[in-house]
Amino acid sequence: MSDDSPAPEANLSRKAWIMILTGALIVTLSMGVRQAFGLFLRPIGMDLEIDRQTFGLVIAAQNLLFGLIQPFVGAWADKYGAGRVAVGGALVYGAGLLIAASAADAMGLMLGFGVLTGLAMSGVTFVVVLGAVGRIVPPGKRTLAFGIVTAGGSLGQFLVVPAAQGLLDALDWRITLFVMAALVALIIPLALGVAGKPPASDARDGPPLREALAEAGRHPSFWLLNLGFFVCGFHIAFVGTHLPAYIRDEGLSASVGAGALALIGLFNIAGSWLWGAWGSNQSKKGLLALLYALRGVAIALFLIVPLSSASVLVFAAAFGFLWLGTVPLTTGLVGQIYGVRHLSALGGIVFLSHQVGAFLGAWTAGLAFDATGSYAIIWMISIGLALVAALANLPIREAPLVRPAALQPAE
């Protein structure tokens, strides 16, 4: 049983439900738009005459900047509140999409799709929203609440990706990006639901940020969490960015690629919720180890079975169930072990490792394809990394970090 197991009397307040649901909608829009970026690889590549390595590098830079700034943005959200941060992120996100829609070359695409979008995502996705939710939800309900918010990202993928493909088929990629910028603008009013300055903390809530960072840095489990989340980022960026192109390369239609991404989103709605629910009363590290191992099995079977529309959709459903279940479990472990006072900041550091993995997953896949004409080596690496992540999570110590009595986190 987890130390985070629910207490019978721990019910969610109306305010908590408002924050969970509006947070889920924010993630629905921000992640839904982001997960559609892989559909733009071929049309943008042909229009701007850039190769896959270059497009992959743009997405990789986006992921890396997203991660590099996340600990700082998370710390701002811990101090000033998630609402303000989400509004700022939405404004920069929209600007990035508009600049990308006007790009005439790879540099313009890098500025819009890479730099601005990458910086903006840190304010409108999981770390900031889950940090706010984690402070208002009782400990026994926390991982389940995280799963509900995470499922929002998958709902966005299920809804936005097919819509984006339809717009690309009917119009062009530039107009499609303008429509997506309008969708992102809806985050601004939704930010009211997660607004509010976090309550003032005292010594019982845990140490100040600098001490909390040093404390986590000395704790081996923190680095094991980072290693596992690195692998998650590699998988997500590789599959999300390159799977549609891989499917087209193998002779299947663009609609199969878009359908695969949408199906990943659909099945992850259930996956995120269920992994989060299981994490409320089971060992989170054990669930993470199982999830990563199942990812490796899913990829291996996908490569063994002859490729067809049916095999693609079965793989998408299986991988979708495993897609973002890592988020509520990993974030839940951070809160469970280190407390929630600096959940967005500490979660942001773990998320940085996720985005370093995402950088390598998006970029090296394009690099490998341009060099060999195939994604085969990246598929093999993905299987090996799944095993590494599964093994890395097993030694994690799930018990709350022991501190002097005055510094124990108040739950």
Dihedral angle computed from the Cα positions of residues 111, 186, 159 and 19, in that order, rounded to the nearest 10 degrees = 110
194 secondary structure, DSSP code: G
Q: Which of these, 101, 51, 104, lies nearest to 93 by C-alpha position? A: 101
Residue 321 CB-density burial (10 A; 0-12 exposed, 13-18 middle, 19+ buried):
buried
Q: Per CATH, the architecture of 14-197+206-400 is what?
A: Up-down Bundle (1.20)
CB 207, CB 403: distance < 8 Å: yes
What letter represents residue 215's amino acid? E
- Tell me the pLDDT of the chain (411 aa) as tens digits: 444 444 444 577 888 888 889 998 998 899 889 878 888 888 998 899 888 888 888 888 888 888 888 888 888 888 888 899 999 999 999 999 999 999 999 999 999 999 999 999 989 988 888 888 888 888 778 888 888 888 876 777 678 888 888 899 898 899 999 999 999 999 999 999 888 776 655 444 567 777 877 888 788 899 999 999 999 999 998 998 889 889 988 888 888 888 888 888 889 888 888 998 898 888 999 999 999 999 999 999 999 999 999 999 999 999 999 988 898 899 889 888 888 777 778 888 888 898 889 889 988 998 899 889 899 999 999 999 999 999 999 999 988 876 555 445 444
pLDDT above 70: percentage of residues in the chain: 92
C-alpha angle 294-298-301 in degrees, rounded to nearest 5: 135
Q: What is the tens place of the pLDDT at every residue in 357-367?
A: 988 998 899 88
The distance from CA 382 to its chain's CA centroid, rounded to whole angstroms, is 17
Distance CA 293, CA 299 (A): 10
Other CB atoms within 10 A of residue 253 CB = 11
Q: What are the domain boundaries of the chain? A: 14-197+206-400
